[in-house]
Amino acid sequence: MRFGKLVPNFKEQVVIFNYANWKLKFSTIFVVASLAAPMSDTNANDRVFIDDLEGIWFERNYLDFLRETKQPHEAEKKYKPVLIAIKKEGRVFPYFATDMVKATLMIVFDVEPGEDVETYRLVLGERNVPTSAEDVVYVWFKGQKSADGQFRQLQIQEPLIMDGQWASYERVGKELGPIINNIVLSGEYLDKEGEKWSFTDEGKATFPGRNVFYYEVSLIRDGATCDYIEAEDLKSPTGLAYYGFRWTDSGTVQIFNANLEGGAVLCQSQPFAELTPM
């Protein structure tokens, strides 16, 4: 896939960085670290380990509104699109959190139980080296495992992006692109001429008369006049083309031509296709 990485190279001394000039990219949101994080040797049956939390956690209000509307920019207007991602890279677990404007990247050292039932805290450090208690960051969370032993939902007190506010989060998987594509656009469609269009969870699309190409759904407005996808276009000087989309009350999706002007994606006022789900 041509599109770039979401997170810049990890800087040891920079934990929170500005995200205003970065567009969300799905290919990866993690970096690889080289040393092992300390792990507890506690074997209690009710112990929670780091890999019990592995995956992407989306703030529930945003996620529910996105599912309802299938319009990412409308969801962003109403709720902050906060996600927390924990994924094993080598022998460590990076902790990544973002609201699509700013982000933080740290290392998870351990999971510690709290005094209250079903209350825990992540122990984070800037670098995977011995760290004093004064320099670690704690992320408190509450939750109960489901019957299969997995966490599905958590209450998380995120201190770096959410300023310590408690919020509900849902575990949605391990890869961001397929999650968003499935909610917003994935499926097979017919246009008014009976031609077939398709968008897959994996980020591949087919339009009539075009070869299969990769696409990404934009999650941040950044001056755009419509929801849109970035599409791989090797004939374009930038390697990208832009298509706006809008779901109608009747359940069809309209497709618009769009252009990048002054750093913002601007959609034409009238759609060039209207698609009906098959």
Do 189 and 173 reside in the same domain of the chain?
A: no
Q: Can you give the CATH number for the domain in which 172 is found?
A: 2.40.128.50
What's the CA gap between 71 and 183, in Å, rounded? 9
Do 44 and 171 reside in the same domain of the chain?
A: yes
Do 158 and 220 reside in the same domain of the chain?
A: no
Domain boundary among 177, 202, 228: 177
Cα-based distances in Å from 88 to 49, 184, 204, 209: 12, 27, 26, 41
Do 170 and 211 reside in the same domain of the chain?
A: no
276 forms beta bridges with 190
What's the CA gap between 11 and 31, in Å, rounded? 11
Per-residue pLDDT band for 148 (boundaries 50, 70, 90) equals confident
Assess whether pLDDT exceeds 50 at residue 34: no
Q: Are the beta carbons of 278 and 187 closer than 8 angstroms?
A: yes
What's the CA gap between 124 and 107, in Å, rounded? 5
Residue 212 inside a domain? The answer is: yes
How many distinct helices (H) and strands (E) make up the chain?
Answer: 3, 18
Do 50 and 167 reside in the same domain of the chain?
A: yes
The number of beta carbons lying within 10 Å of the beta carbon of residue 209 is 6
pLDDT given for residue 6 in this prediction = 43
pLDDT given for residue 208 in this prediction = 95
Residue 9 inside a domain? The answer is: no
Assess whether pLDDT exceeds 80 at residue 2: no
Residue 4 inside a domain? The answer is: no
Helices assigned H by DSSP within 25-133? 60-69, 72-78
Do 38 and 166 reside in the same domain of the chain?
A: yes
Residue 248 inside a domain? The answer is: yes
Q: Which secondary-structure segment (H or E) carries 229? A: strand 227-232
Do 142 and 223 reside in the same domain of the chain?
A: no
Do 152 and 227 reside in the same domain of the chain?
A: no
Do 114 and 209 reside in the same domain of the chain?
A: no
Sign of CA dihedral 112, 116, 119, 122: negative
Domain boundary among 149, 177, 205: 177
How many domains does one find in the chain? 2
Assess whether pLDDT exceeds 50 at residue 39: no
Write the pLDDT tens digit of every residue in 62-76: 999 999 999 999 999
pTM score, two decimals? Answer: 0.80
State the average pLDDT over residues 136-141. Answer: 95
What's the CA gap between 183 and 187, in Å, rounded? 10
Residue 61 inside a domain? The answer is: yes
pLDDT given for residue 149 in this prediction = 84
Do 139 and 193 reside in the same domain of the chain?
A: no
End-to-end CA distance of the chain: 27
Do 114 and 40 reside in the same domain of the chain?
A: yes
pLDDT given for residue 15 in this prediction = 44
Do 151 and 243 reside in the same domain of the chain?
A: no
Residue 1 inside a domain? The answer is: no
Residue 3 inside a domain? The answer is: no
pLDDT given for residue 199 in this prediction = 98
What's the CA gap between 12 and 128, in Å, rounded? 9
Percent residues over pLDDT 90 in the chain: 69
Residue 199 sits in which domain range? Answer: 185-277
Write the pLDDT tens digit of every residue in 200-235: 999 999 999 888 999 999 999 899 999 999 998 888
Domain boundary among 130, 148, 177: 177
Residue 168: how many CA atoms within 13 Å on its side-chain side?
A: 9
DSSP SS3 for 148? coil
Residue 80 inside a domain? The answer is: yes
pLDDT given for residue 10 in this prediction = 37
Write the pLDDT tens digit of every residue in 102-118: 999 999 999 999 999 99
